[in-house]
Structure 1
């Protein structure tokens, strides 16, 4: 009996029971399992430990063979140890705007107040305004970041691990993650300072990585405090921490960033500005 097939029918392609899922290699199964579990952690959050994460749930969501998974990890504790290593390698201590975002904020401030570039006080006011604005966006981004909560839980989990290879691996991975984050923040500070004609104060012995470390510590401390005191997110202080032309309403993180900037940065006397008047 003749059958009517759709125009795009391919008789060489198996259908029904003959259709089988492509077999994954052990390496592909491992990668898919870890990627799926990391995504689940970022979606649902990480408690101190991974007891809330079901091994069978990861297998199901990853769409991999149980036989292959159990050959790779005969016990689920072995998988969770590898997952901790994976999370630590990819962990970010906190979300922060990329350098592109910092550049966008700088461009926005400059376009709306370009006339301020004509004088030293005007440029100082621009730096002040940039600190004030980016502190608010940074604080809000970190506070709402699931990666931040995962990192916080990873730190607590690391402290509870017994001495051994797993603890050493997680500690080393977290340290590398921390350094990458500080380096990124340092580049942001240096980009903005250079663009507006500022330099490090020679007598302070400071550096942009040091500034970044202090700024990150202040941000992390305030975000941690705000978990139990959410009012810190919206608290504003009328102040003029940089001796700008006028006082403004400052967030607490902005006050901390301004204090760091005043301590370590100054106008670069070797930078000559064109007459913009």
Structure 2
């Protein structure tokens, strides 16, 4: 049943009302006993929750906190930070490059992620109230997925901070930063689906003493969040 549902979501996406994951239809496709299916999943919401959990756990970016290419960009920035440790301006430049390149890539990569699209669909279903399947089961699943994902993001930010000689400002921690960045990317991604041209048009911006470079608006937003949440260990 799960394999048949995942295959269908891969082909069609997850519809807002989960209409393409009808239990009776999938029972026929999977060729499994109906009584067994409803003993395992008493309703469609429970089944969809397991489908979405399976999608996330099969996504390599879920375990890492970022998709593979975005993680490589961050790791390259950490390596560069190791080489330039001790120089305040170099540290700031490395952070800017890491954020500028990683976010520009990530804002596109999340749209290619089947797990992320399913997550956003379930979020929309939850906000839609009683008109679609959802409720507390969906909320509990999203809390679980977000919590696990945020921990991985926070770990990546701790590593980046350590490499660049940064720390969280008093009263804040890396998980707070992960929440703020995730909310920024989610919001930007929503607007990008509506008007990709407006969102993806590069902005030529000079920051500090650097020459002007092309920035995605989401990268600028995340850079602003990151710098407000962190401070140098040795000012």
TM-score per shorter chain, which class? Answer: 0.7 to 0.9
Corresponding position of 1:147: 115
Aligned to 2:8: 40
CA RMSD in angstroms comes to: 3.3
**C-alpha distance after superposition, 1:4-40 (max 9, x if no partner):** xxxxxxxxxxxxxxxxxxxxxxxxxxxxx13421342
Tell me the TM-score normalised to structure 2 length.
Answer: 0.80
Alignment-derived partner of residue 229 in structure 1: 195
* Contact in 2 for aligned 1:239/1:249 (Cα 8 Å): yes
Report the CA distance between 1:159 and its aligned residue.
4.1
Which residue is equivalent to 2:229?
Answer: 264
TM-score under structure 1 normalisation? Answer: 0.69
**Aligned counterpart, 1:190:** 158
Q: Is the 8 A contact 2:167 2:231 kept in 1?
A: yes
Structure with higher helix content = 2
How far 1:246 moved relative to its partner? 3.0
Match of 1:26 in 2: none
Number of aligned positions between the proteins: 228
| Whole-angstrom CA distance in 2 between matches of 1:125 and 1:213 | 24
Task: Map Cα deviations across residues 76-112 of structure 1 (whole Å, 9 max, x no partner).
Answer: x9552332231454565x9679268466324434667
Deviation at 1:261, TM superposition (A): 1.6
Could you tell me which runs of 5 or more consecutive residues in structure 1 were left unpaired when the two chains were aligned: 1-32, 271-277
Counterpart contact for 1:85–1:166, Cα < 8 Å: no
1:223, distance to aligned residue in structure 2 (A): 0.5
CA deviation map 1:40-85 (0-9, x unaligned): 22332011112233545523543x33xx2x223569x955233223
Counterpart of 2:26 (choices 47, 58, 63) is 58
Asked if the contact 1:140–1:233 (Cα under 8 Å) also holds between the matched residues in 2, the reply is: no
Name which of 36, 41, 47 aligns with 1:72: 36
